[in-house]
Structure 1
Amino acid sequence: MPKDVTPPRTRMPRLRKPEATDGAEIWELVRSCKPLDENSMYCNIVQAEHFRDTCVVAEMDGEIVGWISGHMIPNQDAFFVWQVAVSPKARGLGLGKKMLHHLIEREECDGAACLKTTITRDNDASWGLFRSFARMIGGDLSDEPHYIRDEHFDGKHATEHMVTIEFPEELAKAA
């Protein structure tokens, strides 16, 4: 690229709470983001409606290009992230981290002292995202096997490691 040509600025997607009518598009996005496990379209519709306060979609030019599903774990001070999907069209923008940060700042996540998620050992993209997010917020990341291949998945799915990011004291107090 010639030095006197400035590359076009990429607009940052708009973050918002999902609606039930987003479910089908969320489902298609997840299907396009291998190696994510595909849930049913119905599951994504229910998540978008019943858990909208702890989920987020990223929209660019009227298209959903990012999705995080999550919920507060009952009787714990922890926010659980179920799934993160970013369209190839929106990769390289730091969108995953921006969506995570957006969620932990929501009123509905008040009281969370940590973020939890499960990741298989071979999912390098997820490990990279959550390690980078922990560094960004100054949180401590730990992990341990949680849902075990033979014990929970009848040998049909890799072990899921419970990843915990303890929020720094000032972030936990703000929540």
Structure 2
Amino acid sequence: MTAAQADAGPRSDYREMPEGFKLDTPRVEDGAAIWRIARDSKALDLNSSYSYLLWCRDFAATSAVARDAEGEPAAFVTGYVRPESPDTLVVWQIAVDDAHRGRGLATALLDGLVARAVRELGVRRVETTITPGNAASNRLFASFAERHGASLTREVLFDAGLFPEQGHDPEVLNLIGPLGPPAGQRP
């Protein structure tokens, strides 16, 4: 953040949920739907269905779902606070159900989760890893950093050779921050 950005005060550029959707904390019973959305994305590394149930139980405070008018998950973002860096939210996965794409849900989910993490957990940085060919995720996180006046740096975290399966792309660490306090609060 430049001095001019710091002088401008806190940012309030968080995107609201699109009409007909509600930002919510995931519940264990959402695990199956979140697993299905991840599977159907065809872009994420799919974890076991069991892991999504555990994620909804153990990391609900650092994750979010967008619920449709019927209350069903239409999109999700999972994350956790790094134990060695308690001011850093690691975004693990983010995906939108195919039927709901193109409405800005990923942007609103990311903004909503980070706003909550800043407010409730004191988060000041966001980390995520993205494979080089995932243009949509690269755009999502670059626009997040720009919207919030935060710097974005990239470096390879896990080279392709570290993965046991052939053909896995490297995972590039995206470091975003520092983030300012929520709108209306001074540091």
Normalised-by-shorter TM-score class: 0.7 to 0.9
Residue 174 of structure 1, CA deviation? 6.2
- Report how many aligned residue pairs link the two structures: 165
Match of 1:3 in 2: none
Match of 1:67 in 2: 76
The structure whose RCO (Cα within 8 Å, separation 6+) is larger is 2
2:129 to 88, 105, 118: 118
Match of 2:91 in 1: 81
**Aligned partner letter, 1:116:** E
Map Cα deviations across residues 61-110 of structure 1 (whole Å, 9 max, x no partner): 32211100000000202100000011122222221121111111225752
CA contact (8 A) 1:71 1:80 kept: yes
Aligned positions of 1:87-106 closer than 5 A: 87-106=97-116
Which runs of 5 or more residues in structure 1 are unaligned?
A: 1-9
CA contact (8 A) 1:137 1:167 kept: no
- Say which SS state the counterpart of residue 105 (structure 1) adopts: helix
Which runs of 5 or more residues in structure 2 are unaligned?
A: 1-17
CA contact (8 A) 1:115 1:166 kept: yes
The Cα RMSD (Å) is 2.1
CA contact (8 A) 1:149 1:155 kept: no
Give distance in 1, aligned partners of 2:132 and 2:120.
27
Residue 49 of structure 1, CA deviation? 0.7
**Aligned partner letter, 1:57:** V
- Say which SS state the counterpart of residue 41 (structure 2) adopts: coil
**Aligned partner letter, 1:154:** P
Establish whether residue 132 from structure 1 lines up as the match of residue 143 from structure 2: yes
Residue 169 of structure 1, CA deviation? 4.1
Aligned positions of 1:141-156 closer than 5 A: 141-150=152-161, 152-154=162-164, 156=166
